[in-house]
Amino acid sequence: MKKIIGTLLVIVVFGLNNVNAQKFGYVDSDFILNSIPEYKAAKSELDKLSSDWQKEIELKYAEIDKLYKAYQAESILLTDDMKKKRENEIVNKETEAKDLQKAKFGVDGELFKKRMELIKPIQDKVYNAVKVVADKGGMAVIFDKNSDMTMLYANPKFDKSEAVLTQLGLGKKK
């Protein structure tokens, strides 16, 4: 359904009379990005950071769980003041853990910032290469077969992924 809507949109945008004259191509952005050594290194670094931060957060929640279980086991023996003190300690630890999680994985968290720092320049480089390939090939549109627009069929002769890699200086060595 998305392909039909996308195709109709392309037809409307370029006009019914001109559609047959337009050249279309597509690229496989996953294939291109996974062929770029800097992308692989950046992705690996992001995965490691994410894993390390996740472990750190899990340790905090394990500590909170331990405190809560100890509180439950000892609550009958504690005075009201001691109970409140323990409850506050648990609540504070939970808040710290949530704040840490938000700081690392939130919308403007460290992972997002690091991804922008490492991945965005590579994506910009790929976009510029796609633009050059499109201009050289006289293409009106180049689709990304990995985006939301689903292609039911893609003729491999219109796949411009290798041309983009060549433009990036990473084409197949023969």
Nearest-angstrom CA–CA distance, 118 and 38: 9
Helix (H) or strand (E) holding 50: helix 37-74
Instruction: Express each pLDDT in 40-91 by its tens digit.
Output: 999 999 999 999 999 999 999 999 999 999 999 998 999 999 999 999 999 9
pLDDT > 90 fraction of the chain, expressed in percent and rounded: 54
* pLDDT, mean of residues 99-124: 94
Instruction: Report how far residue 41's alpha carbon sits from residue 78's, in angstroms, rounded to the nearest whole number.
Output: 53
Residue 17 has pLDDT above 50, yes or no: no
Confidence of residue 151 (pLDDT cuts 50, 70, 90): low
Name beta bridge partners: 25: 142
Q: Which residue has the higher pLDDT, 126 or 3?
A: 126
Where along the chain do its domains lie? 40-118
pLDDT of res. 173? 55
Query: pLDDT higher for 139 or 85?
Result: 85
Does residue 112 have a pLDDT over 90?
yes
